[in-house]
Amino acid sequence: MSLPAYNEKKHEKMLAIGRKLEKKQTHQLEQPFVETIMQTLEFFGADGRDLGQIKIDLCLAKYKIWDAMGMWYSSEYFQSKPIYRGIDKLVDVYIKQNHVGGFAWFLRGHDLECEEPHRCEDCIKSYDDWHNQTPEERMEDQKEMEKFYGPVIDGGDD
């Protein structure tokens, strides 16, 4: 399968949206964000080494999503690997959703293999409902989610 080409206009658009959206976002990403980003990239063929790097960027270096995605999207290393199909999809979803929580919830709720990235109000609303839960409710939700999606992927050690 051929890999998508780097598109400078798309890159700039994503950065512009991200700077605006994540201005007030904390650097501590909520757990489902890291999981769903890594699961999406793994689905599109990221290997263990790639996922290790992604996890470091998101969890240790604590880059904001748009900042990390901008690095991945413009990385010549990733551009020649299967992971790039996934990165390209992430960028498209981020631009279309124009909402950080809606971005992550889209990745969880939609099948990007057969659906083109688009704006989904249901995902945005579903994120907002989740975000406004009490800590107890959220704990329950996290347990439920792990039943479906499994615990967070550990791609760093191989």
Residues that bind Zn ion (CB under 5 A): 109, 120, 122-123
Nearest residue relative to Zn ion (C-beta): 120
> CA 83, CA 78: separation in Å to the nearest integer?
6
Residue 77 Cβ vs Zn ion, minimum distance, rounded to whole Å? 31
Nearest in space to 36 (alpha carbons), one of 152, 130, 154, 137: 152
17 or 123, CB closer to Zn ion?
123
In whole angstroms, how close is the CB of 101 to Zn ion at the nearest point?
Answer: 12
Q: Which is nearer to Zn ion, 80 or 98 (CB)?
A: 98
CB of 71 to Zn ion, least distance (A): 27
CA distances from 144 to 1, 43, 102, 125 (A): 35, 21, 19, 19
Closest CA to 41 of 85, 96, 95, 99: 85
Closer by beta carbon to Zn ion, 82 or else 109: 109
